A and B are shown apart, each in its own frame.
Chain A
């Protein structure tokens, strides 16, 4: 069955510290992987995506993610967190048909000054 697991419900980091948000997926075919960010009361904004090729993908706002097929993971990273990064982050997986997506339960990021 297709599923996405984000094991960390809440994470707090200090401003300027590095960040890694974990995502593991289960998918029966070649996965398309995404990270979205949602600020309070807002819709979802795409941070980055992986379809094929280089397993390290760069996104907007200084985020990057690495696809590790052997670990079924697609962790999101940022070298130095800014206060404006406080939001909820969702990992998602979809297939080549691109019509059905499965989302993780989200990780809420809090940034300490």
Chain B
């Protein structure tokens, strides 16, 4: 069982370049989300999705786009990379149930540097 898979693990971009961070989960989870982690700031929510075709903004959405065409995939797009977007990005999935087993399942992270 792969869980949450993020690619790539490392990426270096030049200012103004665009790219897509990929995230896929094979657990049929309803919810998926993207976080960025910066030193001393913990994890901050960028965008999230409660199901295929439904997305919404989190705390720090500017400069990022998302879409959720399938339950499994939730890519994060940087349209025009800026040095301020240098960070570690985590994708997560989650679900609700009657058993109280809800939790966030995290991917292994993508370390992005924008020069």
Residues of B within 8 A of A42 (CB): 108
How many residue pairs link A and B with beta carbons under 8 A? The number is 61
**Cβ–Cβ < 8 Å partners of B35 in chain A:** 103
A103–B58 CB distance below 8 A: no
* Contact yes or no, B44 A43, CB < 8 A: no
A100-B100 in contact (CB<8A): no
Stretch at the interface among B11-19, B75-83, B90-98: B90-98
| A4 to B, closest residue via Cβ | B42
Provide the bound-state CA to CA distance between A41 and B45, in Å. Answer: 20
B94: which of A9, A43, A44, A99 is its contact (CB, 8 Å)? A99
Is A51 in the interface zone, CB < 8 Å from B?
yes
Measured between alpha carbons, how far is A35 from B38 in the docked complex, in Å? 18
Question: Does A100 lie within 8 Å of B43, measured CB to CB?
Answer: no
Bound together, the chains give a CA A1 to CA B96 distance in angstroms of 23
Question: Is the pair A104, B104 in contact by a Cβ cutoff of 8 Å?
Answer: no
Q: Chain B: residues with CB nearer than 8 A to chain A?
A: 31, 33, 35, 40-45, 48-50, 58-59, 90, 94-96, 100, 102-104, 106-109
A-B contact pairs, 29 of them (CB 8 A): A4-B42, A6-B42, A9-B40, A32-B102, A43-B90, A43-B107, A43-B108, A43-B109, A44-B43, A46-B103, A49-B103, A51-B102, A90-B42, A96-B96, A97-B96, A98-B94, A98-B95, A98-B96, A99-B33, A99-B48, A99-B49, A99-B94, A100-B45, A102-B45, A102-B59, A103-B42, A103-B43, A105-B41, A105-B42
Which A residues have a C-beta under 8 Å from some C-beta of B?
4, 6, 9, 32, 34, 42-44, 46, 49, 51-52, 90, 92, 96-106
